[in-house]
Amino acid sequence: MASSLGRDLEGIAGAGSVLVNQADLYAYRSDATYDYATGKPDAVVLPQSTEQVAAILRYASARGIFVTPRGAGSGLSGGCTPILGGIVVDLKRMNRILGVNPGNMTATVEAGVVLDKFKAAIGPKGLFYPPDPQSASVCTIGGNVATRAGGPRGVKYGTTPHYVLGLTAALADGTVIRPGSLCVKQSVGYDITHLFAGSEGTLGIITQVHLRLLPKPKASATAVVTCNSAEQAASVVSAIISAGTIPAMLEFLTAMAVMVMNSIISPPLAGDGQAYLLMEIDGSPEQVAADVKNLSALCKDMGVMDVRVIEDKKEAASYWKARASLYPFILTMAKKMVIEDVTVPRNQLPEFVKRLGELSARLGILIGLGGHAGDGNMHPSLLFSEVDENTRHKAEQAVEQIVRMGLALGGTISGEHGIGLHKSAFVEWELGREQIELMKRIKAAFDPDGIMNPGKIWPFEAGREDQEA
Ligand SMILES: Cc1cc2nc3c(=O)[nH]c(=O)nc-3n(C[C@H](O)[C@H](O)[C@H](O)COP(=O)(O)OP(=O)(O)OC[C@H]3O[C@@H](n4cnc5c(N)ncnc54)[C@H](O)[C@@H]3O)c2cc1C
């Protein structure tokens, strides 16, 4: 091991647990955005226990070394990028499911457990963990908690924090805390468990999580609604929500998204609509049948082009798989894509869609639109055929205007991807100075020397981060 930092970390986490060669370090510069790879870690360490994580943090804290936690690096906000160097703590070797308790409908996992692997382990026991970020094949449960990850099921079941009952975390100085418990109801002082939800690695490192589970729904059905326009699809979403028959998933797709999906599914979806809604309804068989009938009638009453209930389970699964693969597939058609993540109140979706169309025309940018519309969370994707200064400038302009548009409609600047670096310039627009100052004081209580994931959530300012930037 060439560097003394590497040798010291190996002394803590064991042989074969540290990366210091340049090619390896290069691979840890970025998350899935590739836009914020401005720094490089000095070392990457892959611990296997809470004790090792705590010892790494004690070591870093004593020397003032920056620490960036990392799950799978699938983030879309630049959250796990080590822009100021230091140590990246990669949690992927902490991947044990420590316990599943059907009698209490809970499970305890290490932070590095990959979401799909967890679902595959509990599914055969008739258990269901709803959060479903579309990166489930790679992302980790620790990363999901740290970003408050959501997904299509958010509309009916809520997002990751709704299923987090407690956790184990190591603070910046190596102190290990265990807020929360395996109880599904608790009221003991401040809710430190959920302070870690959305903390993006700035408060400490989550090493274990207690999760609440549900029984697997007995039946489900998938329906595709073909709409005349994006505005019509958005109006249908709002009408569905106000009618009170809430689908398990309610995804919004423009014609462009369906064109991409059709390249990987068979039989293809009819391509004559301008926008589509992909819905899953779940529950008891009787409830599903009744909900499908009600929702189909509602959509038809609103004048949609077609409602098709997919009878073949394999065909339905292929549509959902294609939906999950949408963004990687779009990337095969454009040289650069920036995925946005604003949420608006559901009754504002039609206006949001209309204004987005106007923005696309005004800036001359191709903007694909998809999203978890059922909970108002839209993901406009800015597509570029070239990667150059002009592209970067236009993307910045578009992101800023989309954020302003969402806020003007009473929305929020991130529904599920978090702030990281991508949205840090806009946080004050939503939260105001007072809340940011309060968050900084909270961070200082967890991380007095500011070593945890510097530069994330709010831009560099006074204090240590400013001096180092
Ligand atoms: C194709 C694709 C589809 C996606 N779809 C969705 C979606 O539907 N919904 C959604 O919400 N997101 C989605 N994402 C974004 C991303 O997958 C989520 O944000 C996910 O939760 C990140 O998990 P990760 O393990 O990759 O975390 P990373 O990207 O490694 O890290 C994310 C943040 O969490 C922090 N962190 C990670 N682990 C820990 C830990 N153990 N303790 C403390 N902090 C930690 C990091 O420092 C960083 O700030 C998608 C991404 C891709 C590439």
- With a 6 Å cutoff on the Cβ, whether 144 touches ligand 1 is yes
Ligand 1 atom nearest 144 alpha carbon: 21
CATH of the domain at 59: 3.30.43.10
DSSP conformation letters of 131-186: ---TTTTT-BHHHHHHHT---TTHHHH--GGGGEEEEEEEETTS-EE--B-S-S--
- With a 6 Å cutoff on the Cβ, whether 222 touches ligand 1 is no
Name the amino acid, one letter, at 409. Answer: L
Q: Cite the beta strand spans of 255-325 per DSSP E.
A: 275-283, 306-310
Residue 1: predicted pLDDT: 58
Residue 301: predicted pLDDT: 96
Q: In this structure, are 101 and 156 located in the same domain?
A: yes
Q: In this structure, are 178 and 231 located in the same domain?
A: no
Q: In this structure, are 226 and 208 located in the same domain?
A: no
Residue 92 Cα to chain centre, angstroms: 17
What residues have CB less than 8 Å from 307, skipping those under 6 apart? Answer: 223, 224, 225, 226, 295, 296, 299, 300
Return the sign of the alpha-carbon dihedral for residues 23, 28, 32, 34: negative
- With a 6 Å cutoff on the Cβ, whether 134 touches ligand 1 is yes
CATH of the domain at 147: 3.30.465.10
Answer yes or no: is 277 within a domain: yes
pLDDT tens digits for the chain (469 residues)? 558 999 999 999 999 999 999 999 999 999 999 888 889 999 999 999 999 999 999 999 999 999 999 999 999 999 999 999 999 999 999 999 999 999 999 999 999 999 999 999 999 999 999 999 999 999 999 999 999 999 999 999 999 999 999 999 999 999 999 999 999 999 999 999 999 999 999 999 999 999 999 999 999 999 999 999 999 999 999 999 999 899 999 999 998 888 888 888 888 888 789 999 999 999 999 999 999 999 999 999 999 999 999 989 999 999 999 999 888 888 888 888 899 999 999 999 999 999 999 999 999 999 988 899 999 999 999 998 888 888 889 889 999 999 999 999 999 999 999 999 999 999 999 999 999 999 999 999 999 999 999 999 997 664 444 434 3
Residue that terminates a domain, selected from 38, 66, 90:
90
Q: In this structure, are 429 and 456 located in the same domain?
A: yes
Residues 153/131, Cβ–Cβ less than 8 Å: yes
Q: In this structure, are 42 and 136 located in the same domain?
A: no
Answer yes or no: is 419 within a domain: no
What CA–CA distance (Å, rounded) separates 188 from 182? 13
CA of 274 from ligand 1 middle (Å) equals 31
Answer yes or no: is 362 within a domain: yes
Answer yes or no: is 152 within a domain: yes
Residue that terminates a domain, selected from 90, 106, 137:
90
Number of domains observed in the structure of the chain: 5
Q: In this structure, are 272 and 370 located in the same domain?
A: no
Among all chains, which residue has been given the structure tokens 């978890």?
372
- With a 6 Å cutoff on the Cβ, whether 33 touches ligand 1 is no
Residue 328: predicted pLDDT: 85
335-392 confidence digits (pLDDT tens): 888 999 999 999 999 999 999 999 999 999 999 888 999 999 999 999 988 888 888 8
DSSP 8-state assignment for residue 412? B
Could you list the residue range(s) of the whole structural domain that residue 196 is in?
97-215
Q: In this structure, are 228 and 309 located in the same domain?
A: yes
Residue 253: predicted pLDDT: 93
pTM here?
0.96
Residue that terminates a domain, selected from 358, 373, 408:
408
Residue 2: predicted pLDDT: 59
- With a 6 Å cutoff on the Cβ, whether 78 touches ligand 1 is no
Q: In this structure, are 132 and 169 located in the same domain?
A: yes
Residue closest to 381 by CA, chosen among 342, 345, 424, 423: 342
- DSSP H helices, 416-463, are 427-446
Q: In this structure, are 381 and 320 located in the same domain?
A: no
| SS3 (DSSP) at 98 | strand
Answer yes or no: is 42 within a domain: yes
Q: In this structure, are 205 and 223 located in the same domain?
A: no
What CA–CA distance (Å, rounded) separates 280 from 258? 17
Buried b (16+ CB within 10 A) or exposed e, 210-243: bbbbeeebeebbbbbbbbebbbbbbbbbbbbbee
Residue 27: predicted pLDDT: 95
Q: In this structure, are 400 and 429 located in the same domain?
A: no
What residues have CB less than 8 Å from 17, skipping those under 6 apart? Answer: 9, 10, 45, 46, 47, 48, 93
Name the amino acid, one letter, at 22. Answer: Q
User: Which of 66, 87, 135 best tests ligand 1's pocket when mutated (most atoms within 8 Å of CB)?
Assistant: 135
Answer yes or no: is 417 within a domain: no
Q: In this structure, are 292 and 363 located in the same domain?
A: no
Tell the residue nearest (CA) to atom 36 of ligand 1. 143
- With a 6 Å cutoff on the Cβ, whether 74 touches ligand 1 is yes
